[in-house]
Amino acid sequence: MVKIGKKVIVVALGGNALILPGEKGTIQEQFANTRKSIEGIVQCIKKGFDVVITHGNGPQVGNLLLMTELSHGKVPELPLGVCVADTEGAIGYMIQQTLTNRLRKEGIKKCVVTVLTQVIVDKDDNAFKNPTKPIGDFYTAEEAGHFHKERGWKMVEDSNRGFRRVVASPGPLRIVEEETVKKLLESGEIVIAAGGGGIPVILVEDGSLQGVDAVIDKDLASCVLALDIKADYLLMLTGVEKVYLNFGKQNQRPLDTITVKEAERYMQEGHFPEGSMFPKIQAAINFLKGGGKSVFISAIDKVMESIEGKTGTRIIP
């Protein structure tokens, strides 16, 4: 069993934690799912961890983009970067309120604070020349052609379900508000930050920040945040209890504890597809090479069991 003292842990909630398959995604549903998703975080706090929470926003930003598209010509259009900021604030509010209520019931006197987080990306990142991240709704070939012509969107066919808009997903470099997060942690607060991967910004010639229309991978951004604040542990919660080799095949094999070297070898062998475990494994490798102590990947209802070594996948230097 892994024994851990009071340390800083970054807990990354999966992008679909608040909207489950088959749900419409109403606010009532999202609040109910939030109450379930914070159980493990409450356990971490009760065990004495200093906690920073990150989260995905895929379904939520997709819905907001759809609302923007449906109101085209009636209200000013919201750029993608602003949609990311909007959903970061909205999801942060749900987690913040739900966790605050739960801590009050537990008799734990801590404040929960959401920090709207800007994340610096390289303006020359190749991702801007080759957008690959699908977002928003599915369209017919005719609709896709219309959006490409009228709005300049890059459209690609996605899994034979229709055409979707794809946008740039540049790599995160630095968290703008890292010092604020550190100070809040030092004050004993619980921080929600880098939601949805954070709001992507670039540095212009005079050193000012400027928003860009892109999305940042939540797990890679969580890694950058964890390194910036010198966190000890990174916990990424997803839809499965462990990472698998040959996932979905008859010879699939769960991974318990692996090293960075083993993780890199498995990546090279193609075990982790781009759209699933790949960014989590890459984030784990980056975090551990940057000085982190351990990474845990597990299901959202197995937080403490994973940290204690009873389940989940643990990656070590």
Neighbours of 65 (CB within 10 A): 20
Cα–Cα distance, 78 to 232 (Å, whole number): 37
Which three-class secondary structure state does DSSP give residue 87?
helix
β-strands 209-211, 199-203 pairing:
antiparallel
Are the C-beta atoms of residues 272 and 281 closer than 8 Å to each other?
Answer: yes
| DSSP of 148-164 | HHHH--EEEE-TTS-EE
Are the C-beta atoms of residues 295 and 287 closer than 8 Å to each other?
Answer: yes
Supply the residues annotated as catalytic.
15-16, 133, 218, 280
Residue 175 neighbours by CB under 8 Å, 6+ apart: 117, 118, 119, 120, 181, 193, 194, 198, 221, 224, 225, 228
Cα–Cα distance, 215 to 56 (Å, whole number): 11
Cα–Cα distance, 99 to 309 (Å, whole number): 25
Alpha carbon 71 to its chain centroid, in Å, reads 28
Q: Give the Å distances, CA to CA, from 227 to 8, 54, 55, 232, 269.
A: 11, 14, 17, 9, 27
Helix H segments across the chain?
Answer: 27-37, 39-46, 58-70, 80-106, 141-151, 178-186, 218-228, 260-268, 278-289, 303-307
Cα–Cα distance, 139 to 164 (Å, whole number): 6
- Counting Cβ atoms within 10 Å, is residue 309 exposed (0-12), middle (13-18) or buried (19+)? middle
